[in-house]
Structures are given as C-alpha cells and as structure tokens.
C-alpha cells in the first residue's frame, strides 16, 4: 500500500501539486487520470522519488520515503518496477538483456538462473521469440511488453506505469491493460497507472484518482465513475459522444 | 551570466563526486569498461593514425621549406618535427580533435538516454546512473596515453617519410635531428597533459549529455556546446600545465 499525505510540489513560481492525499491499495490497479497539466506526471514522479515534494509524505507500506537514508532509498527502489511512456528500453541491449538487467544488477543469481527467470517472464508477457532482438527491431506494443517484463522480473512490490497505452492500437492497448491487471492480481502488487485512456479507466480502474489543477477532484472505482455527478469528472471522462452513450447505457441497466 | 557559469562549474564537481559513489557491481562494470574501450579507444585509432601521419608529414615539409638559409643544418627538420609532434601536436591537438569525435559521441549517447528516459529508468531501479554511465568512460580513457603514444610515433614517421621521400632531407639527417638534444622529461610532460585531457574528455561531454533537457534537437545542441567547452578546457589546461611543468 502506498499512502500519499497532503503532498505539494512547485516548479519555480508554479505550484503543480496543491495538497494531494490518497491511498493506492495493494493487489489493485490504481489509476491516476486528469487533463494535461493537472499534475499526474508530477505525482507519479514524486511517488518514484524523481521529484521531492516540498510538503507532505509518501509512505510505502509504512516506510516514509523522505525519512529514509540514501541506502534505504536505493533498497526501496529495487522493490519498484516502472513502465515508462516510451518504454525506456536500453537500446544497446537485446530484449533478453534488457529484461535480465535488474537481476544482473541486484541479485547474485548465476547466468542459468537469470536465463530461466527471463524466459519465464517473457513467456508471461507472450514474447517467446524476441530474446535476441534489439528494441529497434520490435513493434511499439512488443516494446511495452518487454518493459513490463523488465519491470516485473525482480518480483517488485510496486509497479508504476506512465501512459502504458500511448501510441498503441486499440487491440494492443486492451492486451497491455489486461496483462497489467493480471500481473497485479497474480503477484499482489500495488500498481499505479497514469493514463489518458478512457478504455483503461472503464476496463481496469479498480481505484481511480482524478486530478484537476493539482488537486484531488474525485476518487472512486470504475463502477462509481459511471454514476458520479461530479461535473469535472463528467466533463473530462464523458467528453466524447461514444463514452456519453456508454454511460447512458450503463445508467439504464 | 557569471552566476550561471559558476553554478554549472559547481554542478560539474558535484557530478564528479557522485560518479564515485555507490559503485555498480563489478561483473556488470567490467563489461561496460570493455565496451567503452572498444568505442572510445579502439574506435579512435584509425582517425588518430591517419591525422598524425599526414600532419607529421606537413610539419616536416613546412619546416624544410622555411629553412632557406644554407647555413642552417638539415637535421633541424627532424628536430623540429619531433618537438612539434611530442610537445604539442600529439597530446593537445589530437585531444581537441577527440573532443569532437569522442566528445560528441559521449554527449549524444548519454543525451539520447536522457531524452528517451533510459537514465530515469536506471535511477528508478536504484542504479547510480552517473557511476554506471561515466565511470567506465573514465577507466577506458586511462588508455588514452596509448593512443597519444601511437600518434607521436606515426607523426614522426610521417615526417620522416615526407622529408626523405619528398627530397627535403636525408634519412640520416632526419634521424640524427630527431635524436638530437632529447629531453626525456618532455615525454613525461606530454603524458601528464594527456592524462588530464583524458579526464576532461570523459567528464565534460558526459556532463553536457547527462544534464541536457529537451528533445532530439537539444541533443545536437548539447553535442556542439560540449565540443566547445571541452576544447576550451583542453587549451586552457594546456597553457596552465605548460607554465607549471616547463615554465619554471
């Protein structure tokens, strides 16, 4: 469980997060949504320790990040898996080397054991024949799956995903969403996803945090988002006719 | 403006400190060092050999063409070529050329990693990204004096071939000039400079790549800025070291 308490973050004179509090639950896919500039990425990067909030605390299963020393922070980071928007695969390494990277860095496992684990996670993300390919030789969807495999290879407690569906076709997006949800349940991970994709919200949003102008404007589940009358959420989520009709149909049921 | 430069210099020294913090596992680091030796040292040998050979030849020809007084002995061609190549051309001007070749490679490769969030990925995993990326370059460039040694040899060889086969001097005169009044400390001086330049070549381009912001266009700009500052630093240190080591 990740507990965020009243965090504030500014860049120069511009205050991006203005006191956000929430809880991201273990074994659930927690989604952060909101318009561009609402503070989603800053919140995610604060959770990752890339940005340090000026006010407030972030605790990982009771460990307050700002109270940890440098070694404890590095130790905590080994419990984190991250899927970046652009996958952030190391382009000089093959798919298998990318996935093996956290194991080679942080475990004392021998090569055979590492190879077995890499095979296992690549099978888990349905990538069997891509071991020796370079990231530039595979599609965007496959790159995302490699990034997910790299993020989970070290059995993380926390999985963060920044726009995991950006640039993907609808079929691949659904595949990635389902994969993340399955992995979250299977390994009982605290998963936090930053997304613009309303399909993801409707499909895998077990806990949804809606940010507006750096403040928490709403939070709830995918079932609750259909029924909410929060104007900001309705204006953002149901801005397209398609989703308006989906909502109407859902409310009629 | 001055404050911005001072803050950048401060940031550069903080980066140097961070490079030596939290070392990457040796089994991983060993492979990174071999890769950097291949990219930075072995990959530079061809261009260094080519430039050194022909510039050595040009130094020899130009010296010969300027010795118009028949009273000046021809062995001075070998002497001047040796002194120019060992004292200045090989350590300093090859380093300025390497600021373009190695420096832009280092800045653009680290800068591209920054733009594509690969450095963020390392940090999020708990890897000291500065140690992972820059430390192997520093270790690889400890072999840079080997490159400069080859440059010295080929520069003088080029001078000898151009002088002798161009009809400007005899082989005996050139060789006796090249051996004349040889001061071994000049080699020490050249290699001290080379080691300092190697550290500048590894760290200044890394600094510009690591702390760059923006996209692909900014990677190109960072490479250019990195070349300018690496060259300026090499020229400046060349002056300071020459004054300190030879001036007294």
What local confidence, expressed as pLDDT, does residue B68 receive? 81
The shortest CB-CB distance from A77 to any of B116, B118, B124 is to B124
CA distance B199 to chain A (A): 24
CA distance B114 to chain A (A): 10
Q: In what order do the strands lie in the sheet with A29-34?
A: A80-83, A158-162, A190-194, A29-34, A207-212, A215-220
pLDDT digits (tens, 9 = 90+) for B61-98: 999 999 888 888 889 999 999 999 999 999 999 999 99
Please indicate if any CB of chain A lies within 8 Å of the CB of B18: no
**A103 and A160 belong to one structural domain:** no
**A242 and A170 belong to one structural domain:** yes
Residues present in chain A in total: 253
The domain tally of chain A equals 2
Strands A190-194 and A29-34: parallel
In a domain, A173, yes or no: yes
CA distance B139 to chain A (A): 20
**A181 and A141 belong to one structural domain:** no
Domain endpoint, select from A155, A185, A207: A155
DSSP, res A206: S
CA distance B47 to A110: 40
CA distance B19 to B34: 18
Alpha helices in chain B (DSSP H): 2-19, 26-36, 43-66, 76-83, 94-115, 118-124, 129-140, 144-165, 171-179, 184-210, 216-246
In a domain, A84, yes or no: no
Counted across chains A and B, CB pairs separated by less than 8 A come out at: 53
Its ipTM equals 0.83
Which B-chain residues 22-81 have CB contacts (< 8 A) with chain A?
22, 24-25, 27-28
For B120, nearest residue in chain A (alpha carbons):
A50
CB contact (8 A) between residue A86 and residue B120: no
In a domain, B7, yes or no: no
**A245 and A163 belong to one structural domain:** yes
Q: Inform me whether the pLDDT recorded for A179 exceeds 80.
A: yes
CB contact (8 A) between residue A84 and residue B117: yes
CA distance A169 to A160: 21
Contacts of B160 (CB under 8 A, 6+ apart): B60, B78, B81, B171, B174, B175, B178
pLDDT digits (tens, 9 = 90+) for A8-18: 999 988 899 99
Please indicate if any CB of chain A lies within 8 Å of the CB of B244: no
Task: Report whether A210 contacts A233 (CB < 8 A).
Answer: yes
For A49, nearest residue in chain B (alpha carbons):
B124
Q: Inform me whether the pLDDT recorded for A246 exceeds 80.
A: no
In a domain, A143, yes or no: yes
CA distance B234 to B200: 7
What local confidence, expressed as pLDDT, does residue B150 receive? 97
**Residue with token string 């500048």:** B200
**A122 and A181 belong to one structural domain:** no
Domain endpoint, select from A109, A138, A155: A155
In a domain, A85, yes or no: no
CA distance B110 to chain A (A): 11
In a domain, B15, yes or no: no
CB contact (8 A) between residue A82 and residue B25: no
The total of other beta-carbon atoms located within 10 Å of residue B184's CB is 7
CA distance B27 to chain A (A): 8
Domain endpoint, select from A133, A155, A177: A155
What local confidence, expressed as pLDDT, does residue A24 receive? 93
3-state secondary structure of A129: coil
| The two three-digit tokens of residue B127, written as one number | 């890897």
Task: Report whether B85 contacts B153 (CB < 8 A).
Answer: no
Task: Report whether A121 contacts A147 (CB < 8 A).
Answer: no
CA distance A208 to A194: 10
Contacts of B98 (CB under 8 A, 6+ apart): B44, B48, B144, B201
Identify the residue with better confidence: A248 or B70.
B70
**A194 and A246 belong to one structural domain:** yes
What local confidence, expressed as pLDDT, does residue B104 receive? 95
Whole domain around residue A219: which residue ranges?
A: 2-79+156-252
Q: How far is CA A22 from the centre of its chain?
A: 15
For A77, nearest residue in chain B (alpha carbons):
B126
Task: Report whether A67 contacts A128 (CB < 8 A).
Answer: no
% of chain A with per-residue pLDDT over 70: 99
**A149 and A166 belong to one structural domain:** no
**A164 and A60 belong to one structural domain:** yes
| The two three-digit tokens of residue B199, written as one number | 């550290």
% of chain A with per-residue pLDDT over 90: 46
Chain A residues in contact with B216 (beta carbon < 8 A): none
Burial of residue A54, with CB atoms counted within 10 A of its CB: 0-12 exposed, 13-18 middle, 19 or more buried: exposed
Q: Inform me whether the pLDDT recorded for A139 exceeds 70.
A: yes
The shortest CB-CB distance from B125 to any of A73, A77, A86 is to A77
The shortest CB-CB distance from A105 to any of B25, B112, B116 is to B25
Task: Report whether B234 contacts B92 (CB < 8 A).
Answer: yes
Average of per-residue pLDDT across A35-61:
90
CB contact (8 A) between residue B126 and residue A75: yes
In a domain, B184, yes or no: yes
Task: Report whether A185 contacts A17 (CB < 8 A).
Answer: no
The shortest CB-CB distance from B117 to any of A73, A86, A160 is to A86
In a domain, A86, yes or no: no
The shortest CB-CB distance from A84 to any of B24, B120, B127 is to B120
CB contact (8 A) between residue B126 and residue A77: yes
What local confidence, expressed as pLDDT, does residue A108 receive? 87
What local confidence, expressed as pLDDT, does residue A86 receive? 87
CB contact (8 A) between residue A86 and residue B124: no
The domain tally of chain B equals 1
What local confidence, expressed as pLDDT, does residue B248 receive? 67
Which B-chain residues 108-147 have CB contacts (< 8 A) with chain A?
112, 116-118, 120-121, 123-127
For A85, nearest residue in chain B (alpha carbons):
B117
What local confidence, expressed as pLDDT, does residue A125 receive? 85
Q: How far is CA B185 from CA A112, A120, A163, A205, B182, in A?
A: 53, 61, 61, 73, 9
Average of per-residue pLDDT across A63-87:
88
What local confidence, expressed as pLDDT, does residue B157 receive? 97
Contacts of B192 (CB under 8 A, 6+ apart): B241, B245
Task: Report whether B16 contacts B203 (CB < 8 A).
Answer: yes
The total of other beta-carbon atoms located within 10 Å of residue B245's CB is 15
**Residue with token string 């809606």:** A210
Whole domain around residue B187: which residue ranges?
A: 27-246
CB contact (8 A) between residue B124 and residue A80: yes
Task: Indicate left, alpha or beta for A127 from its phi (over 0: left) and psi (-120 to 50: alpha).
Answer: beta
**A151 and A66 belong to one structural domain:** no
| The two three-digit tokens of residue B30, written as one number | 């060993």
In a domain, B215, yes or no: yes
Chain A residues in contact with B22 (beta carbon < 8 A): 70, 74
Task: Report whether A150 contacts A124 (CB < 8 A).
Answer: no
State which residues of chain B have pLDDT below 50.
none
The total of other beta-carbon atoms located within 10 Å of residue B121's CB is 25
CB contact (8 A) between residue B124 and residue A85: no
CB contact (8 A) between residue B24 and residue A105: yes
Angle of helix A111-124 relative to helix A95-106, nearest 10 degrees, comes to: 130
**A33 and A113 belong to one structural domain:** no
CA distance A57 to A49: 11
pLDDT digits (tens, 9 = 90+) for A187-205: 899 999 998 888 888 888 8
CA distance A164 to A177: 8
Residue A3, strand partner residues: A23, A59
Strands A55-60 and A207-212: unpaired
The phi, psi pair for A139, rounded to 5°, reads -75, 170
CB contact (8 A) between residue A88 and residue B117: yes
In a domain, A46, yes or no: yes
Chain A residues in contact with B25 (beta carbon < 8 A): 104-105
In a domain, B13, yes or no: no
Task: Report whether B107 contacts B229 (CB < 8 A).
Answer: no
In a domain, B153, yes or no: yes
CB contact (8 A) between residue B121 and residue A82: yes
pLDDT digits (tens, 9 = 90+) for A29-44: 999 998 888 899 899 9
In a domain, A187, yes or no: yes
Average of per-residue pLDDT across A141-167:
89
CA distance A73 to chain B (A): 8
Output the domain CATH number for residue A229: 3.40.50.300
**A109 and A65 belong to one structural domain:** no
Average pLDDT over chain A reads: 88
**A20 and A8 belong to one structural domain:** yes
Q: How far is CA B168 from CA B52, B56, B64, B68, in A?
A: 19, 14, 6, 11
């Amino acid at each position: 469980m990740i507990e965020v308490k009243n965090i504030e973050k500014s860049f120069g004179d511009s205050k991006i997060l203005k006191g956000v509090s929430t809880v991201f639950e273990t074994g659930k896919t927690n989604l952060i949504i909101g318009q561009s500039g609402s503070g989603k990425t800053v919140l995610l990067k604060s959770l990752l320790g890339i940005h340090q909030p000026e006010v407030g605390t972030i605790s990982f299963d009771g460990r307050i990040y700002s109270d940890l020393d440098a070694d404890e922070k590095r130790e905590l980071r080994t419990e984190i898996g991250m899927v970046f928007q652009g996958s952030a695969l190391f382009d000089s390494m093959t798919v298998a080397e990318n996935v093996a990277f956290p194991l080679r860095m942080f475990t004392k496992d021998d090569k055979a054991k590492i190879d077995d684990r890499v095979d296992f996670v690549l099978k888990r993300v349905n990538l069997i024949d891509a071991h020796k390919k370079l990231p530039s030789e595979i599609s965007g969807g496959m790159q995302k799956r490699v990034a997910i495999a790299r993020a989970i290879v070290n059995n993380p407690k926390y999985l963060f995903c920044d726009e995991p569906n950006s640039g993907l076709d609808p079929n691949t997006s659904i595949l990635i969403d389902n994969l993340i949800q399955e992995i979250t349940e299977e390994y009982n991970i605290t998963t936090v996803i930053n997304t613009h994709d309303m399909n993801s919200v409707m499909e895998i949003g077990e806990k949804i945090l809606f940010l507006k102008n750096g403040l928490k404007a709403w939070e709830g589940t995918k079932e609750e988002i259909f029924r909410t009358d929060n104007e900001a959420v309705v204006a953002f989520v149901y801005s397209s006719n398609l989703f308006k009709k989906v909502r109407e149909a859902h409310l009629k049921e | 403006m001055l404050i911005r430069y001072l803050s950048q210099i401060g940031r550069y020294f903080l980066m140097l400190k961070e490079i030596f913090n939290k070392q990457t596992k040796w089994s991983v680091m060993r492979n990174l060092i071999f890769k950097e030796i291949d990219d930075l040292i072995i990959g530079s040998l061809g261009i260094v050999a080519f430039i050194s050979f022909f510039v050595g030849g040009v130094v020899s020809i130009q010296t010969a063409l300027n010795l118009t007084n028949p009273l000046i002995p021809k062995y001075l061609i070998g002497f001047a070529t040796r002194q120019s190549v060992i004292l200045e051309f090989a350590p300093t001007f090859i380093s300025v050329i390497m600021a373009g070749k190695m420096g832009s490679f280092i800045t653009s490769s680290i800068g591209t990693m920054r733009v594509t969030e690969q450095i963020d990925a390392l940090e999020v995993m708990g890897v000291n990204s500065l140690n992972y990326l820059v430390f192997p370059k520093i270790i690889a460039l400890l072999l840079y004096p080997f490159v400069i040694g080859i440059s010295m040899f080929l520069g003088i060889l080029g001078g000898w071939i151009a002088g002798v086969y161009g009809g400007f001097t005899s082989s005996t005169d050139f060789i006796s000039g090249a051996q004349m009044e040889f001061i071994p400390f000049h080699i020490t001086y050249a290699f001290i400079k080379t080691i300092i330049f190697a550290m500048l070549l590894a760290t200044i381009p890394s600094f510009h790549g690591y702390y760059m912001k923006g996209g692909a266009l900014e990677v190109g700009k960072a490479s250019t800025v990195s070349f300018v500052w690496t060259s300026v630093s090499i020229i400046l240190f060349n002056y300071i070291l020459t004054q300190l080591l030879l001036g007294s």
